[in-house]
């Protein structure tokens, strides 16, 4: 019992530490950046504003995804579901590192509100997981489906010459599809339509705010 309490406390402290250190990512533990062998020309002032806004949204999206899955993992019923969520969260951390690197390359900053997005997403993830593993996995499927669609939109809006941002978003999109597929394979159930609509509305708010702040 005391071991469980200690491990929960450790988990909570690790999560708080992560939320407070979103600007000091541990790039050393991330997989290789998909853009590492590519070059992109210096963007024009107009393109820089666009790419900064899009990559800031993606950066915040990865903050949210990572926090959601950590929250879900904290409440997961089975060890298998928890392991799946933690593996996805590790990959979202890599996506976060890659988006962060691209933002720095073009002299842009991440969203100032990321600690708030992290905290809110963690609580939403933990709340979703209270409804059981299959609902929680359904939440993953719907999250990843919406992220995949939003990445499609961003890939269509990126300047054609921006090969570095494109390589990062394409790799992320491929892995988001895998995250959703793995959740489906583990028995995810489809969420009710109003819940999916609400999730989409929350993502719209996040995109609107993160593009600007």
Smallest gap from residue 95 Cβ to Fe ion (A): 4
Nearer CB in complex with Fe ion: 40/143: 143
Rounded to the nearest whole angstrom, what is the least distance from the CB of residue 178 to Fe ion in the complex? Answer: 8
Phi-psi region of 146 (alpha: psi -120 to 50; beta: other; left: phi over 0): alpha
Which runs of consecutive H residues, i.e. helices, occur in the chain?
2-20, 45-75, 79-105, 114-129, 133-157, 163-185, 193-212
Measured from the CB atom, the residue of 95 and 166 that comes closer to Fe ion is: 95
Residues 155-194 that bind Fe ion (CB under 5 A): 172, 176, 179
Nearer Cβ to Fe ion (43/188): 188
* CA-CA-CA-CA torsion sign (89, 21, 11, 203): negative
Q: Which residues contact 132 (CB under 8 A, 6 or more apart)?
A: 77
Residue 133 in contact with Fe ion, rule: CB under 5 A: no
Question: Minimum CB separation from Fe ion for residue 41, in Å?
Answer: 26
Give the separation between CA 51 and CA 94, rounded to whole angstroms: 19
Q: Which of residues 86-105 bind Fe ion (CB under 5 A)?
A: 92, 95
Given the complex with Fe ion, which of 162 and 176 has the nearer CB atom?
176
């Amino acid at each position: 019992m005391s071991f469980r309490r200690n491990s929960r406390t450790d988990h909570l402290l690790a999560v708080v530490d992560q939320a407070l250190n979103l600007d000091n990512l541990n790039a050393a533990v991330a997989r290789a950046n998909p853009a590492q062998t590519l070059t992109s020309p210096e963007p024009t002032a107009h393109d820089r504003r666009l790419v900064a806004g899009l990559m800031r949204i993606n950066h915040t999206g990865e903050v949210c995804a990572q926090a959601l899955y950590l929250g879900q993992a904290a409440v997961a019923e089975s060890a298998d579901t928890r392991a799946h969520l933690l593996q996805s969260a590790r990959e979202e951390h890599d996506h976060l590192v890659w988006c962060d690197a691209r933002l720095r390359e073009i002299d842009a900053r991440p969203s100032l509100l990321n600690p708030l997005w992290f905290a809110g997403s963690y609580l939403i993830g933990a709340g979703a997981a209270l409804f059981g593993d299959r609902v929680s996995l359904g939440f993953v499927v719907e999250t990843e489906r919406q992220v995949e669609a939003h990445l499609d939109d961003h890939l269509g809006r990126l300047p054609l010459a921006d090969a570095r941002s494109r390589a990062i978003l394409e790799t992320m999109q491929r892995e988001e599809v895998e995250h959703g597929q793995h959740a489906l394979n583990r028995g995810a159930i489809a969420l009710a339509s109003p819940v999916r609509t609400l999730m989409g509305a929350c993502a719209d708010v996040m995109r609107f705010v993160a593009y600007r702040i």
